[in-house]
């Protein structure tokens, strides 16, 4: 299913198209020879194309487009399915440095960093450019470099810190830097981005990162660093700015046609339909959509997760989970109801065709709904215009609530928690402590690659005990034919080993031993 070479070609063609598309008369130009990092950055059009090239890396399935989400399968929310044994090994903590997914993710993360490094080096040297575009573009490059390093630090811990000087001197084969050094660079880059990025964009530039995205990501960084005062400070800037207000409806974050004007999506992958054979325009949509509905269906929510929603939390639960019997607008791939499907709502309907989710379409009875939409033309094809939110204002509300609770005790984050709950149509709570905060983050951000990293940082701080969560099996739906069966047996989380993935063995080999393996692997 995965075809990295095709996807790399798509990213490359988009990048080159951005370069050539800026020139209205490309055949009237003098030959320029081969482009290099040094001679590419000549004018404003080149800068815009170069920055777009950094964003393009986000779409890659081996990186943000999908593979980052595999690590959230380690949580209690989702069970992995499909034909990738390395995904299953990650989920069950049977991890070794030779797993394919560990290696394929690494080069794309550094591709994002490398493109950002070039932008940071060369944009200041472009002689003629609108200074607002120069400033904005530098801010985007700093933000996107910070994002890549933050994700790498969460997954691998210590990684090589490659910056402008490494590019200028060609010194790429360097040892790992400490987590503190990596996070310090992320902080520095985000502070620079804050000073350079605009608060808002016009319609032509929707999807670019704003000052609010940098505030929000910095808030999250400080939460991971247990710097709760600064997390509250920068997160409050997002909350108090109407440019980043919560969407009036929770479902707007995951609904076609409502995302482009949604102030809540601070940072996301701005997917578009681009019909290239065998290459998904939106890897996230391809991987999460049910297999019988043209997707690849790798991720199945557990009953453990479904049970977490409060009885009245129907808005969030309905937007998050596809359950057996559910259908989605424009989903027209009709599947015949077989004898094994005929229970409750299907009883007596054997042999009929249906567009609803049938039991055999899922190993647990559920799918994540947030990344699934279908073309309105009745073809049954996936609509890849659906965007992939990465950071939302609601996430920041709950990070600020957590920061306040951990600074000042239960009840101090009630206002932020209740703002999120009110949007979901739920009654307010009072005196909320960390247990309530843990619950709220789980149901608000379900399927958005947050749960496992949240659990690990809370385990480190002894807010929760991962043994009581991961030492329990992941269960399937109580409906027949699942009957609450075990989807994944109880697992053992080993501290401190499993807080980080091993460095890919191929990377260590390519470095000729300069990069050392993480402890315990």
Same domain, 373 and 414: no
Supply the pLDDT for residue 1.
44
Domain that holds residue 372: 298-389
> Using CA atoms, how far apart are residues 344 and 240, in angstroms rounded to an integer?
48
CA angle 498–502–506, rounded 5-degree value: 165
Same domain, 430 and 361: no
5 or 99, higher pLDDT? 99
Same domain, 351 and 413: no
How do residues 476-486 score in pLDDT, each as one tens digit?
A: 999 999 999 99
- Is the pLDDT at 23 greater than 80? The verdict is no
Same domain, 341 and 409: no
Q: Which of 395, 401, 425 is nearest to 414 (CA)?
A: 401
In a domain, 219, yes or no: no
Q: Could you tell me what percent of the chain has a pLDDT over 90? A: 86
How do residues 53-86 score in pLDDT, each as one tens digit?
A: 999 999 999 999 999 999 999 999 999 998 899 9
Same domain, 436 and 382: no
Same domain, 412 and 452: yes
DSSP letter, residue 361? G
The length of the chain is: 521
In a domain, 418, yes or no: yes
- Is the pLDDT at 32 greater than 70? The verdict is no
In a domain, 444, yes or no: yes
Looking at the structure of the chain, the number of domains it has is 2
- Is the pLDDT at 151 greater than 60? The verdict is yes
How do residues 412-457 score in pLDDT, each as one tens digit?
A: 999 999 999 999 999 999 999 999 999 999 999 999 999 999 999 9
> Using CA atoms, how far apart are residues 507 and 518, in angstroms rounded to an integer?
12
Same domain, 329 and 371: yes
- Is the pLDDT at 35 greater than 70? The verdict is no
* Encoded tokens for 35: 């482009």
Same domain, 381 and 407: no
3 state DSSP class of 30: coil
Section 223-236 average pLDDT: 98
**CB hemisphere CA count around 324 (13 angstroms):** 25
Point out the domain boundary residue: 371, 389, 407.
389
- Is the pLDDT at 26 greater than 80? The verdict is no
> Using CA atoms, how far apart are residues 479 and 365, in angstroms rounded to an integer?
8
Supply the pLDDT for residue 16.
36
In a domain, 383, yes or no: yes
In a domain, 338, yes or no: yes
Residues 6+ apart with CB under 8 A from 435: none
CA angle 473–477–479, rounded 5-degree value: 140
In a domain, 159, yes or no: no
Supply the pLDDT for residue 313.
98
In a domain, 29, yes or no: no
Task: Please answer whether residues 183 and 150 qualify as being in contact, where contact means their C-beta atoms are separated by less than 8 angstroms.
Answer: yes
What are the Cα distances from residue 4, in Å, to 105, 342, 406, 425? 11, 40, 43, 43
In a domain, 166, yes or no: no
Same domain, 331 and 366: yes
Number of Cβ atoms within 10 Å of the Cβ of 304:
20
3-state SS string over 46-67? HHHHHHHHHHHHCCCCCCCCCH
Same domain, 308 and 374: yes
Instruction: Give the confidence band of 175 by pLDDT, cuts at 50, 70, 90.
Output: very high
Radius of gyration over every alpha carbon of the chain, rounded to an integer in angstroms: 23
Same domain, 347 and 422: no
3-state SS string over 377-393? CCCCCECCCCCEEEEEH
Point out the domain boundary residue: 323, 354, 389.
389
């Amino acid at each position: 299913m995965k075809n990295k070479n095709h996807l790399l070609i798509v990213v490359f063609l988009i990048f080159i198209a951005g370069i050539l598309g800026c020139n209205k008369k490309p055949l009237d130009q003098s030959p320029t020879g081969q482009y290099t990092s040094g001679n590419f950055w000549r004018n404003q059009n080149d800068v815009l194309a170069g920055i777009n090239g950094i964003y393009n890396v986000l779409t890659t399935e081996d990186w943000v487009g999908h593979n980052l989400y595999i690590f959230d399968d380690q949580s209690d929310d989702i069970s992995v399915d499909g034909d990738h044994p390395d995904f299953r090994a990650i989920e069950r903590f049977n991890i070794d440095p030779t797993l394919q997914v560990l290696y394929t993710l690494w080069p794309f993360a550094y591709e994002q960093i490398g493109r950002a490094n070039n932008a940071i080096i060369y944009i200041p040297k472009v002689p003629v450019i609108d200074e607002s575009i120069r400033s904005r573009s530098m801010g985007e490059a700093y933000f996107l470099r910070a994002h890549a390093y933050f994700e790498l630090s969460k997954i691998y811990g210590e990684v090589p810190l490659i910056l402008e000087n490494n590019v200028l001197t060609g010194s790429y084969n360097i040892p790992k830097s400490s987590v503190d050094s990596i996070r310090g660079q992320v902080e520095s880059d985000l502070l620079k981005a804050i000073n350079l990025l605009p608060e808002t964009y016009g319609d032509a530039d929707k999807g670019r990162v704003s000052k609010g995205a940098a505030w929000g990501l910095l808030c999250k960084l400080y939460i991971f660093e247990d710097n709760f005062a600064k997390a509250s400070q920068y997160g409050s800037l997002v909350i108090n700015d109407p440019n980043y207000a919560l969407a009036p409806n929770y479902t707007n974050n995951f609904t076609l046609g409502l995302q482009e004007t949604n102030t809540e999506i601070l940072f996301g992958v701005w997917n578009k339909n681009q019909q290239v054979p065998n290459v998904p325009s939106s890897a996230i949509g391809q991987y999460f959509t049910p297999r019988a509905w043209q997707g690849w269906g790798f991720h199945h929510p557990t009953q453990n997760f479904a049970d977490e929603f409060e009885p009245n939390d129907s808005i969030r639960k309905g937007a998050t989970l596809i359950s057996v019997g559910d259908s989605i607008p424009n989903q027209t791939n009709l599947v015949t109801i077989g004898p094994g499907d005929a229970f409750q709502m299907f009883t007596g309907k054997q042999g009929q065709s249906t567009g609803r989710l049938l039991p055999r379409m899922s190993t647990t009875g559920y799918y994540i709904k947030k990344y699934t939409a279908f073309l309105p033309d009745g073809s049954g094809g996936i609509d890849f215009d659906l965007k992939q939110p990465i950071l939302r204002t609601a996430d920041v509300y709950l990070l600020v609530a957590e920061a306040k609770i951990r600074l000042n005790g239960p009840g101090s984050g009630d206002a932020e928690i209740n703002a999120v709950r009110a949007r979901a149509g739920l009654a307010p709570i009072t005196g909320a402590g960390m247990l309530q905060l843990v619950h709220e983050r789980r149901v608000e951000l379900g399927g958005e690659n947050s749960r496992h990293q949240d659990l690990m940082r809370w385990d480190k701080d002894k807010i929760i005990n991962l043994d009581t969560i991961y030492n329990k099996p992941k269960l399937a739906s109580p409906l027949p034919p699942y009957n609450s069966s075990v989807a994944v047996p109880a697992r053992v989380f080993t501290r401190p080993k499993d807080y980080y993935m091993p460095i890919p063995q191929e990377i260590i080999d390519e470095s000729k031993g300069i990069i050392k393996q993480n402890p315990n692997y």
